[in-house]
């Protein structure tokens, strides 16, 4: 039989008690982390979200409370009244924040019992993630997991106050909205009132925040859920949260400066880390050239070197053919990498294969020259030129990828990130920010045989590239920018098109016909006719940002109730079938395949 809370009022949190509280009468409430029964004395580690404090129950001092403590088990919910006392000589526990004190309990109430949990809620037990997710409410009791969500709270709190201080208005946008072409697959919601039609959940509030600028709100911001029905990754969930901002009468540098200030403030208040401003910047072209990717990790070197011109005339047919065919031959120098085993090199070859590279050439620089399957194809002056370009010294390992530009860059760029981490060159508490700018506006989609927007269809071209929209649209650059931290894109945005004619031109370039543009985006095109101010903005991935601040490798760690890789919730068992009646109301009939659960 449980005790009632009665008139008891909690006076302190467990983790807050220290030597300064000695002598005070306190009332504590929480969960039993552990009970240690010495036959006579019983110790209970009482836990709440602030930490743990030790309750001491002495049978001589209070037999009734001691008898109750005898029944108590792990994860039972108890309340205790007692006196904060210093621990006896030599009994201080330095591992505990509250280790200098303990509570001499005079009265104990069992508020609720608990079944033995399916896994131990201590810091020592490693539990399979599917079990953690099924019992997420128990998993969330663990301090390490709570820490991540507390970090998330600190981020949102800081962001909200910064944006408020800078005149941003928090305005909600619809969750039931209109499906748009371009971009990710939409989550659809059937309409009961208008059978046969569907709302879409927003991939982002993009168009609505632009409309708010047209309305004259000047600065908008929202911490908002977004939905994309695409496959999951360690850093991707189907519903995720953006810090979404938009500003009027600004250009790129204004947005960047405002947002740098916000990120610096977040790092100061959430981590105590000072970020040096202004942050570094790099063009997209430079990032690709030096690092092979548009999200470079700048904590280490290992930069890509373009050898295409050096090997153009060489006898190694693979390199020469790629160079002649307009591809790239690039390499990185792994300092001291000559110790890599044959298996290491095979693994690295497999690694670049994932990104489509057909091979990975390697050279070990030994004291007596090149050790390499391809050494024999190169003349002395070519060897020298390659060594010089890469700054090669004895003991180094040179790794080459030759392929069309997109594959050579990505494969070697990913290899660089991989090796940087594997070789311990990326320190966790080293935060290297860089803005990537001057993205291309469009890229050619081979499958669909048309241009698609690199950022999104509302991104403004650079002023000087506007004429290119007619002559050579593939060459036009965008007023777009991404913020990259240690190899992760944490945010991205752009200056938007505020001119109706340019927006219409953009749709045309994307192969969206006038009629389709009208049907899908007519309300935006109309709005742009009624005095849209120049405007632009950005959105940060709150989950990814929090991951980096919390130092975890999985986005699930910073989401209270995350979904599995198959986009299911192991706790609630969503998604699930619905009643036939619900479907009838919506005018929906399932295919026989769907009914069978194929």
Partner RNA sequence: GGGGCUGUAGUAGAGUCGGUUACAACGCCGGCCUGUCACGCCGGAGGUCGCGGGUUCGAGUCCCGUCAGCCCCGCCA
Part in contact with RNA (CB under 7 A); list of ranges 121-129, 250-258, 376-384, 424-432? 121-129
111 vs 374 by CB, closer to RNA: 111
- Strands 488-495 and 535-541 come out as antiparallel
159 vs 478 by CB, closer to RNA: 478
| Among positions 3, 107, 182, 239, the unique one binding RNA when judged by CB under 7 A | 182
* Cβ-contact 239, 225 below 8 angstroms: yes
| Among positions 173, 203, 372, 437, the unique one binding RNA when judged by CB under 7 A | 203
| Among positions 3, 49, 50, 59, the unique one binding RNA when judged by CB under 7 A | 59
| Among positions 9, 428, 566, 596, the unique one binding RNA when judged by CB under 7 A | 566
Report the candidate in 431, 430, 452 with the shortest Cα–Cα distance to residue 442: 452
Does 406 sit near RNA (CB under 7 A)? no
Q: Which two three-digit tokens encode residue 238?
A: 């189907």
122 vs 315 by CB, closer to RNA: 122
| Shortest distance (Å) from residue 393 CB to RNA | 32
Mark 429-465 as b/e (b = at least 16 C-beta within 10 Å): eebbbbbbbbbbbbeeeeeeeebbbbbbbbbbbbeeb
| Among positions 74, 177, 179, 191, the unique one binding RNA when judged by CB under 7 A | 74
Sign of CA dihedral 158, 279, 240, 273: negative
Q: Which two three-digit tokens encode residue 332?
A: 């990185």
What SS3 state is found at 50? coil
Does 450 sit near RNA (CB under 7 A)? no
Does 239 sit near RNA (CB under 7 A)? no
| Distance in angstroms (rounded) separating the CA atoms of residues 220 and 223 | 11
x-marked contacts with RNA along 361-380 as a string, rule CB under 7 A: --------------------
Sign of CA dihedral 474, 475, 478, 482: positive
Does 508 sit near RNA (CB under 7 A)? no
Does 543 sit near RNA (CB under 7 A)? no
| Shortest distance (Å) from residue 453 CB to RNA | 5
Does 206 sit near RNA (CB under 7 A)? yes
Does 570 sit near RNA (CB under 7 A)? yes
Q: What share of the chain is helix, strand, coil (3-state, %, to 5)?
A: 35, 25, 40
Instruction: Give yes or no for a cis peptide into 260 (omega within 30° of 0).
Output: no
Q: Which two three-digit tokens encode residue 411?
A: 């494969």
Contacts of 162 (CB under 8 A, 6+ apart): 261, 262, 265, 266
| Among positions 11, 19, 22, 36, the unique one binding RNA when judged by CB under 7 A | 36
Does 516 sit near RNA (CB under 7 A)? no
Instruction: Give yes or no for a cis peptide into 484 (omega within 30° of 0).
Output: no
553 vs 579 by CB, closer to RNA: 553
- Tell me how many residues contact RNA (CB under 7 A): 70
Does 556 sit near RNA (CB under 7 A)? yes
| Shortest distance (Å) from residue 104 CB to RNA | 8
Q: Which two three-digit tokens encode residue 569?
A: 């919730």
Residues near RNA (CB under 7 A): 34, 36-41, 43, 45, 54, 56, 58-60, 73-74, 87-88, 91-93, 95-96, 99, 102, 116, 118-120, 122, 124-131, 133, 182-185, 203-204, 206, 228, 230-236, 354-355, 447, 452-457, 554, 556, 564-566, 568, 570
């Amino acid at each position: 039989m449980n005790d009632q809370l009665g008139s008891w009022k909690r006076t302190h949190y467990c983790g807050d008690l220290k030597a300064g509280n000695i002598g005070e009468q306190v009332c504590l409430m929480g969960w039993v982390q552990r009970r240690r029964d010495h036959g006579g004395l019983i110790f209970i580690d009482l836990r709440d979200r602030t930490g743990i404090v030790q309750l001491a129950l002495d049978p001589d001092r209070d037999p009734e409370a001691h008898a109750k403590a005898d029944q108590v088990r792990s994860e039972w919910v108890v309340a205790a009244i007692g006196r904060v006392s210093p621990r006896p000589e030599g009994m201080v526990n330095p591992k505990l924040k509250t280790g200098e004190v303990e509570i001499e309990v005079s009265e104990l109430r069992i508020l609720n019992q608990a079944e033995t949990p399916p896994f131990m809620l201590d810091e020592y037990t490693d539990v399979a993630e599917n079990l953690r997710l099924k019992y997420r409410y128990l998993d969330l009791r663990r301090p390490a997991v709570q820490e991540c969500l507390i970090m998330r709270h600190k981020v949102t709190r800081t962001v909200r106050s910064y944006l408020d201080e800078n005149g941003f208005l928090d305005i909600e946008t619809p969750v039931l909205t209109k499906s748009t072409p371009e971009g990710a697959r939409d989550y659809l919601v059937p309409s009961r009132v208008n059978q046969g039609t569907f709302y879409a959940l927003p991939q982002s509030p993009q168009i609505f925040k632009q409309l708010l600028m047209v309305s004259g709100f000047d600065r908008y911001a929202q911490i908002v859920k977004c939905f994309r029905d695409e496959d999951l990754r360690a850093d991707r969930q189907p519903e995720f949260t953006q810090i979404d901002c938009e500003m009027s009468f600004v250009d790129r540098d204004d947005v960047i400066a405002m947002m740098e200030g916000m990120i610096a403030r977040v790092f100061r208040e959430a981590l105590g880390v000072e970020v040096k401003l202004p942050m570094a910047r790099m063009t997209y072209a430079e990032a690709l050239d030096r690092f092979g990717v548009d999200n470079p990790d700048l904590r280490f070197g290992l930069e890509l070197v373009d050898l295409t011109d050096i090997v153009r005339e060489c006898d190694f047919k693979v390199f020469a053919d790629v160079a002649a065919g307009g591809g790239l031959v690039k390499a990185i120098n792994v300092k001291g990498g000559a110790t890599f085993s044959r298996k290491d090199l095979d693994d690295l070859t497999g690694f670049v294969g994932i990104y489509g590279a057909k091979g990975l050439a390697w050279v070990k620089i030994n004291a007596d020259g090149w050790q390499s399957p391809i050494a024999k194809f190169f003349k002395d002056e070519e060897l020298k030129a390659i060594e010089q370009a890469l700054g090669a010294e004895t003991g180094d390992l040179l790794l080459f990828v030759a392929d069309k530009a997109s594959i050579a860059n990505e494969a070697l760029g990913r290899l660089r990130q991989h090796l940087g981490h594997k070789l311990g060159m990326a320190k966790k508490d080293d935060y290297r920010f860089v803005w990537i700018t001057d993205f291309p506006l469009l890229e050619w989609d081979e499958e669909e045989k048309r241009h698609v927007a690199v950022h999104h269809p509302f991104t403004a071209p650079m002023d000087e590239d506007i004429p290119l929209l007619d002559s050579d649209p593939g060459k036009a650059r965008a007023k777009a920018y991404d913020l990259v931290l240690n190899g992760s894109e944490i945010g991205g945005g752009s200056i938007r098109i505020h001119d109706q004619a340019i927006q219409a031109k953009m749709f045309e370039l994307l192969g969206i016909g006038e009629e389709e543009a009208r049907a899908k985006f007519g309300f935006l095109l109309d709005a742009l006719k009624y005095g849209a101010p120049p405007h632009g903005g950005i959105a940060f991935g709150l989950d990814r940002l929090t991951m980096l601040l919390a130092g975890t490798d999985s986005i699930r760690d910073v989401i209270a109730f995350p979904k599995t890789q198959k986009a299911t919730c192991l706790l609630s068992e969503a998604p699930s079938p619905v009643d036939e009646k619900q479907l009838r109301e919506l005018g929906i009939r399932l295919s026989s395949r769907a009914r069978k659960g194929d």
